[in-house]
Each structure stands twice: as structure tokens, then as C-alpha cells.
Amino acid sequence: MEKLKSKVITSIFDTKIGFKLLKNRFQNTIIMYHGISNTNSIYNKRHTLKKDFINHLLFLKKYCNIISLDDFLTKKFNPTKINVAITFDDGYWNNYSVAKPILEELKIPATFFITGINNTNETYLWADFVDIIAKNKIPNIIIKNEIFELINGQYFNKIRNCSLHNFIKNINANYDTKEILYQNITDKQINKFFNNSNKEFWKMMSDNEISETSKSKFIDIQSHSYYHNNLGTIDLQNAVKELQNSKKYLENITQKNIDTIGFPDGSYTRELLVECNNIGLSKQLAAEGFLYSEDLHDENISDRKGMYDIGSYQNQLYNALLHN
């Protein structure tokens, strides 16, 4: 049944008649991309194929009203169309090398949410690290005397009944846990696993590339925290410090005011929202169902829908624009 539904959506979605039939099921949406790649990623679904990305933008430009994130948050909508804002999380190098030229050519505004990982000892984000070492079949990962075995391509702790991703996101979310994770792998293995053949799936934009991107009239640079910790699962003091450091880091590079936070994984606490306003991050974005019900009508925080490399580009768009 799901395969049939997917085929039907693919066949009618990108026609004028098909869109009209489906339009009442769609909503004004902030779309969240991660990477835009030239080839399919074998590590995860966070990178959208370049050809699909172009098809997304051409479709949205034809049938919807693409506006800047600022205009979306202040509800400068076209009442006769589906209004869409484009965002990117993490600050991948392929945002600079692949997405940026396309956005500029098509004159489409977007916001890039970027971490402060360049200011640390690492050159990659922890989730990519886990995906890549799993693909290279490192059998066990030990963190704080807890063993995560590689089972069906995923690290899993049988005693906790918990994946390594979930453990790092929600149970031991501070950055020291990630540093322990990295210690499981030798420098020689890291150099082998993180190489030029797969760099478009893990490499981050450099400070110079962030600076250059910030000068584009179509792209706005904003904060994605400092370490990419889930800010809703670390203590409030450390979460605030991350946001302060991120804001300072990005303002130094861009020489522009940073006033928006795209929470990593969409994770936050309601106490953190107050602190965000206190430090000048007055615009806040959750994602993928993390928005608290109490915040549904808060004008300072908005939800986003993720775009992932699953199915046809028509199905990707359908899932992103669909009402919850």
C-alpha cells in the first residue's frame, strides 16, 4: 500500500492539477535541509541529492512562495500560496560548494545554521563520526565502561536497550561524552575513514567559507549552537554558555548580528528560551516534533520539517509540506 501511495504521489505531485488536488493538505513550512550532495550517501539520509534539491527549488518556486526566514517569522505571507522558508543545519562544506551556487543562481533566500565546531579540536560532527565508523565495522565502542556493540549496522547497548545515538543525544549529552567516543578510534583509523572520497558527507565549512557565504545577499548565517549538543538534555548553564560562545564566534566571522538559533535536533527546554532572549537570540527554531505544545502560539519559536534522501523528490516534498 505504501509503495502504491508513493507511486501515485510521484506521478501527480509535480503537475498543476496534481498540486491543486493536494494543496489543501499542505501548510506554510520552514524546510530543514542538512547536506546537498553530488552522490548518494552510504552513511545516512541527511544529504539530499543535488538533482533532487534543484527539483525541489524549481517546484517550490513555481507553485509556492519562497521567502526569507525573517519574512516567514514575521508572517509576511502571500495568502494565496503555500509560504516556504529554506534552512540548512550543521554547516556542511557541501552547503557552500553545492547549495550556495544553486540558491544564488535561482535567487532563492536561505538560512545556514552553523556550529562552532571549527573552534574545537574536531573537524566533524559526532553523529557523522558514529555513522562512518559503523560503516567501517568497528565492532565495539566503550563509553564510561558501557559497551555498545555493532548490531545490524548500528551501535547498541543491550543492558540499556539503547542505541549509541540515543545515548549521546539524550542520556550523556555533554561534550565530554563525545570526546570519549573519539578516543575509541586511533588517529590512523580516523585518517583512513575520513578521507577525500567521502568528505562531502562530513566536512564542515571553513571559517573563510562561512565569512564568504555571509556576504551573499541570498544567504543568512545563524547559530546552531557550539558543539552540536542537544541543548534540551544538558544542564541549563552549559546550554547558555554554548549559545553565548556560538554567537560570539559567528559574529566575529561574519561581522553581523546573530539573533537566531536553530536548536540541534530541535532540542530545547522552556527555561532555555528565556535565556535565549536574554543573550540576544530572540528568534528560535525547533524541529521534527520537539516543539512543546505550550509554545505552539509563541511568536519567538517555530517548528521545522526535515527534508531527507528518502524516495522520489516528489515524495520528499510531499512529506515536508504535509500537515502534521
Pick from 162, 193, 224: which residue ends a domain? 193
CA torsion 125-126-131-137 (nearest 10°) is 130
Q: Is residue 155 domain-shared with residue 287, that is, in the same domain? A: no
228-237 pLDDT, tens per residue? 999 999 999 9
Residue 104 resides in a domain: yes
Which pLDDT belongs to residue 84? Answer: 98
Which pLDDT belongs to residue 22? Answer: 79
Residue 3 resides in a domain: no
Query: What is the rounded average pLDDT of the residues 126-144?
Result: 96
> Which residues make beta-bridge pairs with 193?
none
pLDDT above 90 for 221 = yes
162-171 pLDDT, tens per residue? 999 999 999 9
The residue that leads in pLDDT, 2 or 280, is: 280
70-124 pLDDT, tens per residue? 999 999 999 999 999 999 999 999 999 999 999 999 999 999 999 999 999 889 9
Query: What is the rounded average pLDDT of the residues 45-62?
Result: 96
Q: Is residue 150 domain-shared with residue 50, that is, in the same domain? A: no
pLDDT above 80 for 18 = no
Pick from 143, 172, 193: which residue ends a domain? 193
- Which residue bears the cell 524546510? 31
Q: Is residue 131 domain-shared with residue 189, that is, in the same domain? A: yes
Residue 19 resides in a domain: no
Alpha helices in 64-206 (DSSP H): 69-73, 93-94, 100-106, 126-135, 164-166, 175-182, 187-193
Which pLDDT belongs to residue 2? Answer: 66
pLDDT above 90 for 150 = yes
Residue 17 resides in a domain: no
272-317 pLDDT, tens per residue? 999 999 999 999 999 987 788 888 878 789 999 999 998 899 989 9
Q: Is residue 242 domain-shared with residue 106, that is, in the same domain? A: yes
Give just the sign of the alpha carbon dihedral 127, 293, 286, 43. positive
Q: Is residue 210 domain-shared with residue 305, that is, in the same domain? A: yes
Q: Is residue 221 domain-shared with residue 131, that is, in the same domain? A: no
pLDDT above 90 for 247 = yes
Q: Is 50 left (phi over 0), alpha (psi -120 to 50) or beta?
A: alpha
- Which residue bears the cell 540499556? 160
Residue 200 resides in a domain: no
Which pLDDT belongs to residue 156? Answer: 97
Please, which pLDDT band fits residue 1 given cuts at 50, 70 and 90? low
169-206 pLDDT, tens per residue? 999 999 999 999 999 999 999 999 999 999 999 999 99
Residue 35 resides in a domain: yes
Q: Domain holding 269: CATH number?
A: 3.20.20.370
Q: Is residue 95 domain-shared with residue 134, that is, in the same domain? A: no
Domain span including residue 179: 126-193
pLDDT above 70 for 244 = yes
The residue that leads in pLDDT, 298 or 148, is: 148
Q: How many domains does the chain have?
A: 2
Q: What percent of the chain has pLDDT over 70?
A: 99
Q: Is residue 88 domain-shared with residue 215, that is, in the same domain? A: yes
What secondary structure letter does DSSP report for 23?
G
Q: Is residue 114 domain-shared with residue 131, that is, in the same domain? A: no
Which pLDDT belongs to residue 15? Answer: 77
pLDDT above 90 for 323 = no
Rounded-to-integer distance, Cα 262 and Cα 255, Å: 19
pLDDT above 90 for 21 = no
pLDDT above 90 for 12 = no
Residue 114 resides in a domain: yes
Q: Is residue 213 domain-shared with residue 269, that is, in the same domain? A: yes
Pick from 168, 193, 218: which residue ends a domain? 193
The residue that leads in pLDDT, 165 or 22, is: 165
